[in-house]
Amino acid sequence: MALKKFRKVMVLVIDGISFSTMNEEATNFFFQVINDRYEKAATIVTTTGLIISLPKLLT
């Protein structure tokens, strides 16, 4: 149900992803949002951290 909200916008900006780590539920939801929008709409993810640190945030 919550994914429908993210389908409606043409450009989704996810800002500040490096501020805190995500638990398993949040990681799964984030993946679902990105996967659902893949090749359908623009998604921009920003971070102030190193991109190499991204896997650590998603665990």
* Residue 4 scores a pLDDT above 70: yes
Residue 13: pLDDT band (50, 70, 90) is very high
* Residue 48 scores a pLDDT above 80: no
Q: Could you tell me the pTM of the whole model? A: 0.68
* Alpha carbon distance 3, 46 (integer Å): 20
* Alpha carbon distance 9, 37 (integer Å): 10
Residue 20 vs residue 29, higher pLDDT: 29
Share of the chain above pLDDT 90, in %: 20
* Alpha carbon distance 2, 36 (integer Å): 12
